[in-house]
Structure 1
């Protein structure tokens, strides 16, 4: 297997593990995916709602949202461009579906998300070094 293919598989694994661990409400696992000095910006539409500069603050902010009663994160396409042997950029498309409680009733919210990532390979291992997380739109369909 070529080095590029191995790197593509490792980068896909990063974004997939992020989705899987998010479903488990296991934000502590983010330490295994993101650099300690990760730069994270989160946007809801055009409005920036977070600007974080390390993984510990990232974990704390995500935990502050509270756990959903149920969640389902599904990744779609991921496009990766290599800058050199240890740097890459990528875009990953995702749908995040959350069940929360509002006024004593369950509420389903579906988010269309794009992750714009910068990756770095340190000591033979890929990490997410920077992320812009864009919530493109949200939908609140009926929950059956």
Structure 2
């Protein structure tokens, strides 16, 4: 009983720490504190292009934030957290963002697919996969296809629905009811995995 209670308390503390982690990410990003931001990732974080480590990630941050945006604000929403084991978890997080970029004010709706890892008692992002629905000037509703519409960039698809096959399956039957039996509720800690149904990770273009 004591071990079970300790495990349950640890799980609650971990959930809170992970929720704090995503809030810290937004604050450090919007305040342009690159040291605080990269400290949310482990020392061996993979950056891309064969690079890894916090220094390489900080270089990417400084270059990207300095070139693309005059200011940003990231508003985090619903957050699902599920544990693979006591030190590894995954999550889905909604985010509504605003970007001042030259003469345009770009609003964005997106979600993150996260993988978290606890190292030496502290939770970090092992990986953040951004999935975008739209980005557009505040005065230009993103009606139609290719909803990612940044100034000076050709519109493109943002992968918002690509992690979950249910989106394409729904529209393949024109939204009509179907005769398949109603599925059982997803097992505990398997809601995200059940919805993904083995779908591969998409490769979206990266914008924070």
The interval holding the TM-score normalised by the smaller chain is 0.7 to 0.9
Task: Say if 1:55 and 1:134 are closer, same or farther in 2 by CA, change over 3 A.
Answer: farther
Aligned to 2:144: none
Per-residue deviation, residues 6-49 of structure 1 (Å, max 9, x unmatched)? 101100011110001111011221232111222467xxxxxxxx
1:26 aligns with 2:33: yes
Q: Retained in 2: the 8 A contact 1:30–1:55?
A: no
Match of 1:123 among 120, 124, 140: 120
- Measure the CA separation in 2 of the matches of 1:26 and 1:135: 24
Q: Retained in 1: the 8 A contact 2:118–2:124?
A: yes
RMSD across aligned positions (CA): 2.3
- Measure the CA separation in 2 of the matches of 1:86 and 1:12: 15
| Alignment TM-score, normalising by the size of structure 2 | 0.57
Q: Retained in 2: the 8 A contact 1:75–1:93?
A: yes
1:69 aligns with 2:76: no
Structure with the higher helix share, 1 or 2: 2
Instruction: Tell me how far 1:124 sits from its aligned partner.
Output: 1.1
| Alignment TM-score, normalising by the size of structure 1 | 0.79
Of the two structures, which has the highest relative contact order with CA contacts closer than 8 Å and spacing of 6 or more?
1
Partner SS for 1:30:
helix
Structure with the higher strand share, 1 or 2: 1
Match of 1:134 among 131, 138, 148: 131
Q: Retained in 1: the 8 A contact 2:47–2:56?
A: no
Q: Which has the larger radius of gyration?
A: 2
Q: Retained in 1: the 8 A contact 2:74–2:95?
A: yes
Q: Retained in 1: the 8 A contact 2:74–2:97?
A: yes
Flag structure 1 segments of 5+ consecutive residues without an equivalent: 42-49
Q: Retained in 1: the 8 A contact 2:21–2:124?
A: yes
Instruction: Tell me how far 1:122 sits from its aligned partner.
Output: 1.1
Instruction: Tell me how far 1:125 sits from its aligned partner.
Output: 1.0
